[in-house]
């Protein structure tokens, strides 16, 4: 037994036991450290789930602030991105611009009567008074424009007048602008009759006042928006080429522009006429001037210069107006033009895909969209609201809405086969152009609440 004891007390044996003990202690420590790290990581992982939950509804009141009585009982635990906010706003307000393009849609049958007739409105120009002039069909009156992704409210003349109290509106452009303002006047006349307070010598520019609302409505005739020397009578007969100053705005509208709180401005078909172009009071070219030995610059060159100059003036004038740039209006002449026997005898709208836009209208609308995209941000920086009133495509689908031969009074009263000049550009009143005012009011509502 003593011998065994001696063996046990041998130094080498003690060293070996000590070595085993150290290894055991180190292993224990490493195991403890690993366990701690595992637990710590688990805690952090668990914390990350609580702090950044997935974007799902939660009923936990500990992860959300107290709810107001009007709040939803389920709120996202993480703030939504701007895209999520737009999506949520679109669900709550289906008519907001981010959700619905009011210019993409269809004409749908509408059994309700027009807002006015030629008997209830006395502002209809003779050439657009299709009812009085004897147009035999009335089906063109019973359609409404229906955007595909939302409802377009009807124009409310009472609300419009209330919202424009003590304000001034102007329609600036050619005879289509005059056609449009007459449509608006007729709808507003169901609430209050306007008083004409001004007209120019040729009755092309006019101004009306609504005394109960202190609201002023103007139409300013300026077919090029630029300074132009026009040698044409009221019947469209020219004695010389138009001299168009591409670098000068027409003072007919610029001198009174700061009086307008709202302005609907548009170019148009006048740019397709033969014209000599001037810049810095020097002839630089022309459009459609054979035999003049001048450079053919094309109507598109002049139209772009005009819109660029106009929008630059409006967005940098210091006057903070609400501006609508209305796009070009297509005509529906078939089998000729206005001067060569063209007609428009259709009695129902086209469906989408049944008609193609003419090349000139494509060019003009593309220019309008491009110049608008450049000018809108500049206007926003200067406190000017600039909106695009894109009536081109919806108007393209309405070949039935023009006076046609009924621009004259009873053209076939004496001879059913009489040759009558057709108007396939302007619109009957009442008619499809009334829907433009529905669009205007919707755009005003959106502009105010954006």
366 is catalytic: no
- Is 216 in contact with 225 (CB distance < 8 Å)? no
- Candidates 120, 213, 217, 196; CA nearest to 161 is 213
DSSP notation for 261-330: SEEEE---GGGGS-EEEEETTEEEEEES-TTS---B--HHHHHHHHHHHHHHHHHHSS---EEEEEPP--
- For tokens 């101004």, the residue is 207
Spot the catalytic one: 127, 168, 174, 175: 175
- Cα–Cα dist 282/273, whole Å: 20
Spot the catalytic one: 423, 434, 435, 438: 423
Tokens found for residue 25: 């202690």
ω into 430 cis (within 30 of 0): yes
423 is catalytic: yes
Burial bucket for residue 165 (CB in 10 Å: 0-12, 13-18, 19+): exposed
Give the chain's largest Cα–Cα span.
Answer: 152
- Cα–Cα dist 128/394, whole Å: 19
Q: What are residue 16's phi and psi, to 5 degrees?
A: -65, -40
12 is catalytic: no
- For tokens 């001004």, the residue is 198
CA 433 from centre of chain: 16
Q: Which residues contact 427 (CB under 8 A, 6 or more apart)?
A: 128, 179, 183, 401, 402, 403, 433
Long-range contacts of 210-215 (CB under 8 A, 24+ apart): 210/161, 212/161, 213/161, 213/162, 213/164, 213/165, 213/166, 214/165, 214/166, 215/161, 215/164, 215/165, 215/166, 215/167, 215/168, 215/169
Spot the catalytic one: 174, 183, 426, 434: 426
User: To the nearest 10°, the Cα dihedral for 87, 91, 95, 100?
Assistant: 50
Active site positions, annotated: 175, 423, 426
């Amino acid at each position: 037994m003593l011998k065994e004891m001696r063996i046990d007390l041998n130094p080498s044996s003690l060293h070996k036991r000590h070595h085993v003990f150290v290894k055991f202690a180190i292993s224990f420590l490493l195991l403890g450290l690993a366990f701690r790290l595992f637990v710590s990581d688990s805690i952090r992982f668990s914390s990350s789930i609580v702090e950044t939950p997935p974007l799902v509804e939660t009923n936990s009141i500990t992860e959300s602030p107290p709810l107001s009585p009007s709040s939803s009982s389920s709120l996202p635990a993480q703030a939504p991105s701007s895209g999520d906010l737009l999506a949520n706003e679109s669900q709550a307000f289906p008519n907001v611009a981010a959700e619905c393009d009011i210019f993409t849609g269809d004409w749908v049958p509408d059994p309700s009567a027009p807002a006015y007739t030629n008997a209830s409105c006395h502002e209809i120009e003779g050439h657009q008074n299709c009812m009085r002039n004897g147009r035999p069909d009335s089906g063109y009156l019973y359609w409404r424009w229906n955007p595909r992704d939302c409802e377009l409210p009807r124009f409310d003349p009472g609300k419009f007048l209330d919202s424009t109290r003590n304000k001034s509106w102007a329609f600036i452009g050619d005879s289509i602008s005059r056609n449009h303002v007459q449509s608006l006047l007729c709808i507003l006349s169901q609430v209050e009759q306007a008083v004409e307070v001004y007209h120019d010598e040729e009755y092309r520019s006019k101004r009306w006042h609504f005394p109960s609302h202190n609201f002023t409505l103007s139409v300013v005739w300026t077919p090029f928006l630029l300074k132009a020397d026009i040698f044409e009578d009221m019947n469209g007969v020219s004695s010389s080429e138009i001299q168009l100053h591409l670098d000068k705005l027409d003072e007919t509208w610029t001198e009174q522009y700061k009086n307008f709180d709202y302005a609907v401005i548009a170019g148009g078909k006048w740019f397709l006429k033969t014209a000599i172009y001037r810049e810095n009071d020097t002839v630089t070219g022309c459009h459609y001037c054979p035999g003049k030995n001048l450079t053919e610059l094309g109507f598109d060159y002049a139209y772009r210069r005009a819109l660029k100059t106009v929008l630059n003036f409006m967005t940098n004038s210091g006057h903070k107006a609400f501006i609508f740039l209305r796009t070009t209006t297509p005509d529906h002449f078939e089998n000729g033009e206005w001067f060569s026997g063209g007609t428009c005898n259709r009695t129902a709208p086209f469906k989408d895909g049944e008609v193609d836009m003419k090349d000139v209208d494509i060019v003009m609308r593309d220019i309008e969209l491009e110049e608008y995209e450049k000018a809108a941000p500049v206007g926003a920086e200067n406190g000017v609201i600039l909106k695009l009133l894109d009536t081109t495509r919806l108007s393209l689908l309405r070949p039935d809405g023009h006076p046609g031969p009924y621009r004259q009074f009873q053209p076939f009263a004496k001879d059913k086969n009489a040759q009558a000049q057709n108007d396939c550009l302007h619109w009957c009143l009442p008619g499809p152009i009334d829907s433009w005012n529905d669009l205007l009011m919707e755009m005003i509502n959106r502009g105010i609440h954006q």
